[in-house]
Amino acid sequence: MDLMFSEDLIGRIRSLAERQGITPEKLVEKLVEQYEDEPSQSEPGSAAELAASAKAANIGKGEPKTDMAARSREILHNEYADYLKSRMDDQNADTISD
């Protein structure tokens, strides 16, 4: 397989290789090896990046599992009912004061 590069890029590769005292082929080989060794970077803010940072920070390890369905029912039966009652009480207080 032949690769085609612009004259400008070929000149830049040759210049870098000369400065490092190696052949252009060896320079390209070193650059490819460096690129392969780097961990892949996810898009900033993507789900993959968030998951990787959570894993690196050990978030979620050792914490008890939360039953989301049970917690949701608890909120609906307790907290949301209290919230609605307080709104109704506020509306009744406004009606009485008018």
Is 91 within a domain? yes
Whether residue 97 lies inside any domain: the answer is yes
**What confidence score (pLDDT) does residue 42 get?**
65
The answer to whether residue 26 sits within a structural domain is yes
Q: How many structural domains is the chain composed of? A: 2
Rounded average pLDDT per 10-residue block, the chain, 98 residues: 88 94 93 78 75 77 77 86 86 71
Instruction: Tell me, yes or no, whether 48 lies in a domain.
Output: no
3-state DSSP of the chain: CCCCCCHHHHHHHHHHHHHHCCCHHHHHHHHHHHHHHCCCCCCCCCHHHHHHHHHHCCCCCCCCCCCHHHHHHHHHHHHHHHHHHHHHHHHHHHHHHC
Q: Pick from 38, 16, 37, 41: which is nearest to 27 by CA? A: 16
pLDDT, residue 11, reads: 94
What was the pLDDT predicted at 63? 67
Domain assignment of residue 46, yes or no: no
Cα separation of 18 and 12, whole Å? 10
Look up the CATH number of the domain holding residue 1: 1.10.1220
**Which residues form the domain of 92?**
67-98
